[in-house]
């Protein structure tokens, strides 16, 4: 029996592949490479030395996805495939709703048809909108603020309805906070297509000289130094959270949401200082006006994941900075994919 991982070539997916393979799971990866490179798969094979299957497939392609269910004996699905840029979702809402929601719908219909009723879903802390206070626990009111966030919220609701219609389903909704960092080997990491929207890749690209300076979005928030506070979590800790959630859905039924965060908040300037100290680099920055839609402070209460999944983030901010830099320094142009054009599937 195998685990099907959608979106497995992406940033979080590639780190999840490594953890799954190292834990001995049989793995099938599905990704259309719309926001990732095939080279990530080559590097996963290199890191783990383990075999796995890769299908270059769009989850919206029902026929192609169905053939994967026919060809393989699938026990559970970890569903990460999706589009994730908040700004782009405002510009292209239909594209986001179609890809994220219809994609999940097609996947769930096939799971139902082939009696695979176990899913770990990648949701986001964005479903909490503007929290009334912090830390945020899973029972906070849910209110997404943009089309991307609404796709996550709608999918969560769809999956809850699915469970309520058939109690054989077992579903974990993982609400990620801010994943940063990379595998300690420096062979896999975050590889944004264009100028990064997120803080850490912007910092690493500034450090490596690709970008001139960091723009800090606002220093007049009610926080420790006026800059925005977030719960940054090492991507390897996050990947390990998927394994714990998988163990849970393999052995019990129900639908539950879990915050995957550290429970600690860091401001933008604290991250800049930690990065400079850990890596010995200098990050020039300029304070500019607030970015529309940003909240002042967002960090998790991760107690539920600790109690029910036995999961706790172990890595600290220095590990996150060191590993983010290790990846960027060794791969200044990302994966530079030579295999990108091969429109096919592989057994790695
Ligand atoms: P990513 O873009 O690196 O990975 C997503 C992967 O899904 C990509 O490899 C992309 O090619 C693939 N994909 C997209 N649409 C697809 C489709 N229709 N069929 C097949 N593959 C498809 O992003 P990531 O940061 O690794 O995020 C993974 C998941 O976690 C996403 O669902 C994202 O919304 C969610 N998430 C990410 C963050 C974050 O800060 N990175 C925070 C919260 C939630
Ligand atoms: N920031 C800057 N300059 C930048 C980029 C970010 O000052 O160039 C600041 C932001 O204002 C914010 C903090 O750094 O205070 C973090 O911003 P990110 O863009 O890295 O992360 P967000 O918290 O805005 O969003 C991330 C994901 C979303 C997800 C959300 C909640 O990008 O997809 O976390 O989990 F929904």
* C-alpha pair distances (Å), 111 with each of 107, 170, 283: 6, 12, 47
Residue 302: is the preceding peptide bond cis (ω within 30°)?
A: no
Residue 165, CA distances (Å) to 136, 196, 255, 315 in order: 29, 41, 12, 39
What is the per-residue burial (b if ≥16 Cβ within 10 Å, else e) of 134-152?
A: bbbebebebebebbbbbbb
| Positions of the chain with pLDDT lower than 50, given as ranges | none
- Rounded to whole angstroms, the Cα distance separating 168 from 176 reads 25
Contact yes or no for 308/248 (Cβ under 8 A): yes
Structurally, the chain folds into a number of domains equal to 1
User: Can you give the pLDDT at residue 266?
Assistant: 98
Q: Whose CA is nearest to atom 43 of ligand 1?
A: 124
- In this prediction, residue 190 carries a pLDDT of 98
Look at residue 35 in the predicted model and tell me its pLDDT. 96
3-state secondary structure of 103: helix
The alpha carbon of 99 is separated from its chain's Cα centroid by a whole number of angstroms, namely 16
pTM exceeds 0.85: yes
Which CATH number do you get for residue 253? 3.40.50.720
C-alpha of residue 14 to centroid of ligand 2, in Å: 21
Dist CA 328 CA 278 (whole Å):
14
Atom 12 in ligand 2: residue holding the nearest Cα: 228
pLDDT at 338: 65
Instruction: Please state, as a whole number, how many other Cβ atoms lie within 10 Å of the Cβ of residue 284.
Output: 11
Q: Is 148 a catalytic residue?
A: yes
pLDDT of residue 267: 98
Catalytic residue among 11, 55, 148, 258: 148
174-198: pLDDT as tens digits: 999 999 999 999 999 999 989 999 9
Structural domain including 40 reads 2-347
The tens digit of pLDDT for each residue in 225-282 reads 999 999 999 999 999 999 999 999 999 999 999 999 999 999 999 999 999 999 999 9
**Distance from C-alpha of 147 to C-alpha of 91, rounded to nearest angstrom:** 9
User: What is the rounded CA–CA span in Å between residue 64 and residue 344?
Assistant: 12
The predicted structure's pLDDT at residue 198: 97
């Amino acid at each position: 029996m195998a685990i099907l991982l959608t979106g497995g070539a992406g940033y979080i997916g590639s780190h999840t592949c490594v953890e799954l393979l190292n834990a001995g799971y049989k793995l099938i990866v599905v990704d259309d490479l719309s926001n990732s490179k095939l080279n990530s798969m080559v590097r996963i094979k290199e890191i783990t030395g383990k075999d796995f299957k890769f299908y270059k497939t769009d989850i919206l392609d029902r026929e192609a996805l169905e053939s994967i269910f026919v060809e393989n004996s699938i026990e559970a699905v970890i569903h990460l495939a999706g589009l994730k840029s908040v700004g782009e979702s405002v510009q292209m809402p239909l594209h986001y709703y179609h890809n994220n929601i219809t994609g999940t719908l097609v996947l769930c219909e096939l799971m139902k048809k082939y009696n695979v009723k176990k899913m770990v879903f990648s949701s986001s802390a964005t479903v909490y909108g503007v929290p009334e206070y912090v830390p945020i626990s899973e029972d906070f009111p849910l209110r997404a603020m943009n089309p991307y966030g609404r796709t996550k919220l709608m999918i969560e609701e769809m999956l809850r309805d699915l469970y309520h219609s058939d109690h054989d389903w077992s579903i974990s909704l993982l609400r990620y906070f801010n994943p940063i960092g990379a595998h300690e080997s420096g062979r896999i990491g975050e590889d944004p297509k264009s100028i990064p929207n997120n803080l850490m890749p912007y910092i690493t690209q500034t450090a490596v000289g690709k970008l001139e300076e960091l723009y800090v979005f606002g220093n007049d928030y009610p926080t420790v130094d006026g800059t925005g506070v977030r719960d940054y979590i090492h991507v390897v800790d996050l990947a390990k959270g998927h394994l714990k959630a998988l163990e849970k859905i393999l052995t019990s039924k129900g639908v539950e949401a879990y915050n995957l965060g550290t429970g600690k908040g860091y401001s933008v300037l604290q991250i800049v200082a930690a990065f400079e100290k850990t890596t010995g680099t200098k990050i020039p920055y300029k304070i500019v006006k607030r970015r529309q839609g940003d909240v002042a402070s967002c960090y998790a209460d991760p107690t539920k994941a600790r109690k029910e999944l036995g999961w706790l983030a172990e890595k600290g901010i220095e590990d996150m900075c060191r590993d983010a830099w290790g990846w960027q320094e060794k791969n200044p142009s990302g994966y530079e994919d030579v295999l990108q054009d091969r429109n096919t599937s592989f057994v790695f």
